[in-house]
Amino acid sequence: MKFIMKWGFLSFITITAVILMSNISKAFILEAPDLLRINLSSESTNEEVVSQLPGSRIVDAKLHIISVPYGRVDEYGKLASKLPGVFLPRKVQLEKPAFSFHYYLFSFKELLLNYSHGDLGLIRTGNYDIPVKKVLKETVVRTCTYLIPGLIVGVLFSTLLSLVASMWGTIGRLLNSVHALLSGLPDFLLIILIQLASIYLTRLTGRNIILVAHYGNHIPFTIPFLAIALIPGVLIYGTLRLAIEREMKQDYITTALAKGLTKREVLFHHVIRNIMSDLLMVMPKATTLAIASMAVAEAMCDILGLGGYLVSPRVQNISATPIFCIVLVIIAIIFHVIYAWLSKLFVVKIGEGA
């Protein structure tokens, strides 16, 4: 029960922080949130317009600027455009950008109200507005298709390589050199190199072996999968190599080897159990790296996944950023809870007696 309450509280705080941070752009305003400028024909007057817009009043009759309820400029602009003699209603530009905590809180309350009514935001592609609710499930499935397998393969492969490197010195030195090289490469550069290798492989073979970009119903898998597996795998390999070296210097290892156990037996029967805590300790950071790598890979391959929708030039993100960020955080929290649960199961905690 304590475990559930702890993670429930941490999840609530994290999701709340993500919503607040993803909505921070609303605090910087370029237009007045309560003023509307209208153009009138000779058939209409400011007074007639204000009389048909509840809660509005004239601010500047000469410039045809009216005041509307706070934060409802867009709504009142649409209402005004339907009135006879009114055309081209538009927002009033501020003289210089301003920071408005009031508008930030207003936008945050509106966001929560929309979520409570099932409105998760809009994405615009071309001249069409697509509700996020219609594409969210498909997007999550698409992202998890390579995120989860990539992370699992990255963990297993890097763990196996760390054990292999500890058994054979020559292979270990080679793997350490590769690890040092990959550690120095930025995420985006590694993905670019994978893309270039895919392009040259296609040119050599004359076949589209590895898909580089998303088009139609064809979604790249290999490039985001490799990025997700490699980048966290580099971190896990380095952590486990140090952990294995630490364990191999312990007295119990010397005793086991003296009793006739081979190095392989010592590694697989004793060391691998004792480095479990190191693996589970690095997994939250590795998972965060995997999610970040996924977002970079989706952006560079133009995949409309959870990360791709945030940055893709093919779509105009109107109000979908918070919900996509929330979903990514929920995925990360689920992994973190799993790691915490595994730590309780497999990691032996030693405390001092009284």
Write down all domains in the chain, each with its CATH number in brackets: 14-117 (no CATH), 134-346 (1.10.3720.10)
Assess contact for 216 and 207: CB atoms under 8 A: no
pLDDT digits (tens, 9 = 90+) for 20-41: 887 888 888 888 888 888 888 8
Assess contact for 284 and 335: CB atoms under 8 A: yes
283 vs 1, higher pLDDT: 283
**Would the pTM count as exceeding 0.75?**
yes
Please tell me the predicted confidence (pLDDT) of residue 158: 93
Summarize the confidence of residues 300-305 as an average pLDDT: 82
pLDDT digits (tens, 9 = 90+) for 150-167: 999 999 999 999 989 888
Adjacent-strand bridge partners of 40: 86
Please tell me the predicted confidence (pLDDT) of residue 208: 64
Q: How does residue 352 score in pLDDT terms, banded at 50, 70 and 90?
A: very low
Q: Is the pLDDT at 354 greater than 60, yes or no?
A: no
Residue 40 phi, psi dihedral angles, 5° rounding:
-120, 145
pLDDT digits (tens, 9 = 90+) for 210-244: 777 667 677 788 888 888 898 889 999 999 999 99
End-to-end CA gap in the chain: 27
Q: Is the pLDDT at 334 greater than 50, yes or no?
A: yes
Please tell me the predicted confidence (pLDDT) of residue 344: 81
Residue from 145, 180, 147, 122 nearest 319 by CA: 122
Q: Is the pLDDT at 249 greater than 60, yes or no?
A: yes
Q: Which of 7-11, 70-74, 348-352 has the highest mean pLDDT?
A: 70-74
pLDDT digits (tens, 9 = 90+) for 86-104: 888 888 888 888 888 888 8
HSE-CB for 347 with a 13 A CA cutoff: 15
Assess contact for 232 and 154: CB atoms under 8 A: yes
Mean pLDDT of the chain: 83
Q: Could you identify the residue written with the tokens 């490799």?
A: 226
Instruction: Tell me the two tokens of residue 216.
Output: 């139609």
Q: Is the pLDDT at 314 greater than 50, yes or no?
A: yes
Q: How does residue 351 score in pLDDT terms, banded at 50, 70 and 90?
A: very low
